[in-house]
A and B are shown apart, each in its own frame.
Chain A
Amino acid sequence: MNDSKKANRRLFLKGAAGASLALPFLPSLAARLGHAQAVATKKRVIFIYMPHQETDGFAPDANFSFASSYLSPVATNYSARMLVMNNMKTLGQGHAGGHTEWLTGFPGGDDYRPTQGPSLDVYMSNKLQGQTPLPLINFSMSWRTVINNGVTSWNPGPTPTAVPAINNPPEAFSSVFTGGSSGTPAQPSQALVLQGSLLDALQKDYQRVDGLLSAGDRILLDQHLSLIRDQETRLQNAIAHPFSCAAGGGAPAMNLSWQDTLRSFMDSIVGAFRCDATRIATLQLGCSGDDSNYTFVNPAATNYHDNVAHASPELVAEVRKWQMQQIAYLCDQLAAVPDGAGGTLLDSTLIACLPELGWFPASGVLAYIDSTGRMQTTDNNHLRFQVPAVLIGSSGGFFKTGRFVDMMQTHYHDLLITLAHAMDFTEVTTWGTNGTGVLSQLLA
């Protein structure tokens, strides 16, 4: 157990990636870049899942000063890029409702599964299919990635299936830096060709066995078969369009500290954006109702759910401030990578920090207007009557940043539509149960 050694290992990755990730300038790639530039600047987005609620200390003051805001770690260098909002209306309530509504707009019930998919990240990823070698990348700080309360990314359709996140840094690293060799292969490797024929043979074997079984017995095998087909499609794509996102260095060590784990995920996202492996990333700072240990922030924060979210608004703010310090790190990394004419990756990346629950005051009593227009109060900090959000980045001048906006109970689902438009998915005109249009008050 040597923390400094682990940190160095992770830093080594970052340094190595920085040194060797420069795109090899092959004619085909140059042509693709040229094409891309002629059409539009590439837009990128990172959705960050913020577990639990926001509280006092979230908003900047009337002068957009963050002196007493726990968003200050990001604001210190990037306040001009920030668009802070509060007071959006939602449909979903509680951990399950907020969690499932997060990017889908279709809050689910006790099983923590939205009633309908896709989530916005998956929607975008599907739309970009073929334009980048990798689909969505999604990383999570929670060990819960297979069960629904750890899943934020959902496939299309009713009672959607999960797109589980990766929750360990080496795997996140290798999901981006495939192969680890440097340079773009001129020919598809023999290994890929062999894997192609293997997948083909396996497909036939699954089909054959499927044919021997009853419909009920085929449930898992059918899922397996369709995933093998997906894998083969990706493989054929990789063979047709050789892709290199070589890391040059080693993968991060196992068992990093909490902060180094999170930063390693951030490094992998920046690396993926740098070589345009994907443009869509989701980063979960925890699962729904996250119960992680934050004693490194404050010794009392032994359990995020029990001893922070339920116990102390001050601790909620402290943990949020630490999270914002990490997001500032992410901004720093994006800002360090040149992209396009004189800009950086930070210029082309929109970071959307969206909470699981709503804003809940430190006083412990939230006043709100109920559906009949009457003023009510509640001491339940799981309600999402006033949902805030933080955007970092203007998405190519789409948003008017550098300000705080009281959303006056406009609907959160409209924010999801607005985010889709920011990323140029202007075909999205409805989203979730209540989304009907773009929030014009946010636009430049």
Chain B
Amino acid sequence: MNGPRTTKEALVRFTVGATLLASLAGCVGKISGAGGGSSGPPGSSGSSGSGGTAGTGGPDIGSIDINAAGTDSVSPAFTRRLTKTEVANSIAALTGVTPTSVAMLPDDALDFEFDRVAQSQTVIDRHIQGYLAIGDEVVKALSDAQLATLAPACTTVDRNCAQSLIDTLGKRAFRGPVAPEQTAAMLALFDGAGTARDGVNQVIRFILQSPSFIYLIERGTPVANNPGILALTDYELAARLSFFSCETVPDATLMAAADAGQLHTADQLATQATRLFGLPCAHQTVQAFYTQWFHLDRTATIMPDTTALPLFTPDARQGMIDEDNQFLSYLTWQSSGTLASIFNADFSFVDSRLGAIYGMTGLGSTPAKTQMPPERRGLLTHASILVTLSNPTATSPVRRGAYVYKKILCGDIPLPPPTLDTTPPKDDPTKTTRQRYALRTEVGVCATCHSLMNPIGYTMENFDPIGQVRTTDNGQPIDATGSVPSLNITGLDGGASLGIALADRDELRLCFARKWLRFGLGRMESQTDVTSLRPLVDMARQQSTLKDMMVALSRTYAFSHRAVPPDPGVSP
């Protein structure tokens, strides 16, 4: 956190903004958890635990009390747009064309960490230009012969071919039957074009730019005794399952299940989810989840001062990226990895590129499962995390602490007010980084918030700015003792102790459940979702595997329902 600046990227685009911008008057740091119980900070159970508040305002994304009673309900969100990845995957699945002009679309906003959160989405002119360009590129890339592979009647390019494309390509792209008005509009486009091929091209362009393709439109059916809540239709659930697991349009199996009306019970959904999470495409989706949750993409671009820290070579950087990917992939897919194991595993996947930084010898040239020295336990002690949360020549206990507090524990903490001078502490060769930060941030108004974050970051001070274990800093002995004040965790010493301490906390379990729901459903979560979050937290308590927990979201009430969003005219 280096100033009132670019880190403030959470834009207020929907009513959640109002609850995001906590009062700056006092630092009311909040971590979700067992509110009212032993582990929550004082006051953390303050938010309402009542369910069924859909339609009455924006979701409260502050603290969530996982033990509070609640009736089945869901937090509202407006219709979301497909992400760039989803557009690219879907068009490839539908047409076999991989359009490069997807790159013209603006990058998806990451205000709420994930690229698919409805509340962070807007539409700008470049979307329109991009969709037009994608449509043009696809029709140009499709030969007449390829058309025949898309729709049976297209062995001849004529009006029957257009109708056939509407019935097959259109239905899959729209994840359900094409509306009669849409069919009429497309046939009119066909008739108004110069040649039959021009006409067919118009039909394909329409399909790829219709709201039925670009937006996840869910109308559902009203639920008795639960006003404002809609149960999704089988087709809508086919789309949810498919984008949730594979970021693409439903496959033939899903569409057939929806056609047959066999896709709405929890068991039906979980059966399909289990099947889909066995496909290679799900691996990519889950990797995207980890990358966005843990902000792993920064490893590729972080620029430490390599004059001062020459061990940070391009090879070492790639070694760090590979370590994270293989570690998380192994835990999720090749073993019975649990959420806890992400944070306390005593092994990782390292090779000789990381040997110098990790002080390990005898490593092979490609990452292999390796027992790690006692200083390193879990992801928080991976070099990637340690380097991306450092300044070029010095560690940043504030960045490291804030990362754990906010991203790993889902804590809320306000940004420094813009009038505050947030220049990082000046270099001082007589002091350790910890001492410099303490002098700068643990005095006056700064201390209110920093006392929640700094003690977490201090535990990682036994790792230098590129993740090497160190015992001194500026010639002084390292002090890596610390705590997690808001969780009453004390007596930590070193990054490994932090990961081990967090691994069995309900706050971590709930944070995972929240992030997975947010990612899986593409919307913000709130207390209203408590009955859907609780099963995931319970599974984590029972050391269920990551994969089983991921699949289990498909069984929840939140997965098969949605809430009508508030009228934007009512909220500011």
Residues of A within 8 A of B (CB): 93-97, 109-113, 143-149, 161-164, 166, 171, 190, 194-195, 197-198, 201-202, 204-206, 208-209, 212-221, 223-224, 227-228, 230-231, 287-291, 293, 295, 299, 302-303, 305-307, 310, 379-382
Contacts and interface: CB of A to CB of B under 8 A. Distances in A.
Interface in B1-30: 2-6, 8-9, 11-12, 14, 17, 21
Nearest to A195: B132
B307 interface: yes
Interface stretch (B152-160, B198-206, B335-343): B198-206
Interface in B342-401: 391-392
A95 B4 contact: yes
12 contacts: A94-B4, A147-B11, A201-B186, A202-B209, A205-B185, A212-B217, A216-B566, A217-B217, A221-B215, A224-B127, A230-B125, A295-B303
Interface of B: 2-6, 8-9, 11-12, 14, 17, 21, 76, 78-81, 104, 106-107, 109, 111, 118, 121-129, 132, 135, 179, 181-182, 185-186, 188-189, 192-194, 198, 201-202, 205-206, 209-212, 214-215, 217, 219, 303, 305, 307, 391-392, 415, 418-419, 421, 423-424, 564-569
Given A194-B198, A194-B202, A208-B181, A220 B567 contact: no
B139 to A, nearest CB: 10
Nearest to A146: B106
A221 B79 contact: yes
Given A146-B109, A217-B565, A223 B122 contact: yes
Contact of A306 (B126, B192, B424, B565): B424
B11 A93 contact: no
Given A95-B4, A214-B565, 10 more contacts: A197-B189, A205-B182, A209-B217, A217-B79, A217-B564, A220-B81, A227-B127, A230-B125, A303-B303, A379-B421
A220 B418 contact: no
Nearest to A235: B132
B6 A289 contact: yes
Contacts of A166: 126
B202 A147 contact: no
B180 to A, nearest CB: 11
Given A208-B179, A214-B567, A307-B392, A302 B303 contact: yes
Contacts of B129: 231
B569 A215 contact: yes
Contacts of B211: 205-206, 209, 221, 224
Nearest to B423: A310
B4 A147 contact: no
Contacts of A161: 122, 124
A379 B420 CA distance: 11
B210 A205 contact: yes
A419 B409 CA distance: 50
Given A93-B418, A146-B106, A231-B128, A201 B303 contact: no
Interface centre among B17, B21, B305, B418 (most CB of A within 10 A): B418
Given A110-B415, A228-B128, A220 B423 contact: no
Contacts of B421: 379-380, 382
Which 6 pairs from chain A and chain B are nearest by CB?
A: A216-B565, A289-B5, A223-B123, A94-B418, A215-B567, A209-B211
Nearest to A111: B12
B128 A224 contact: yes
Contacts of B111: 147
B80 A303 contact: no
A113 B11 contact: yes
Nearest to A99: B5
A219 B78 contact: yes
Given A95-B418, A223-B123, A224-B128, A216 B185 contact: no
B4 A216 contact: no
Contacts, number: 197
A111 to B, nearest CB: 5
A215 B568 contact: yes
Contacts of A307: 392
A227 B106 contact: no
Nearest to A148: B11
Contacts of B219: 212-213
A115 to B, nearest CB: 12
Nearest to B305: A302
Contact of A216 (B106, B126, B564): B564
Contacts of B307: 299
Interface centre among A197, A205, A295 (most CB of B within 10 A): A205
B412 to A, nearest CB: 14
A310 B460 CA distance: 25
Nearest to B17: A111
B23 to A, nearest CB: 12
A192 B567 CA distance: 37
B565 A310 contact: no
Contacts of B202: 194, 197-198
A206 B217 CA distance: 12
A166 B179 CA distance: 36
A277 to B, nearest CB: 16
B5 A145 contact: no
A146 B107 contact: yes
Nearest to B76: A216
Contacts of B212: 205, 209
A170 to B, nearest CB: 9
A118 to B, nearest CB: 15
Contacts of B17: 111
A288 B7 CA distance: 11
A191 B302 CA distance: 44
Nearest to B6: A289
Contacts of B418: 93-97, 109-110, 382
Contacts of B419: 93-94
A386 to B, nearest CB: 17
Nearest to B111: A147
Given A146-B106, A216-B564, A223-B123, A194 B424 contact: no
A208 B181 CA distance: 9
Given A190-B194, A201-B185, A287 B8 contact: no
A95 B568 contact: no
Contact of A95 (B3, B123, B124): B3
Given A224-B123, A224-B128, A306-B391, A147 B564 contact: no
A370 to B, nearest CB: 14
Given A111-B17, A164-B106, A194-B202, A220 B215 contact: yes
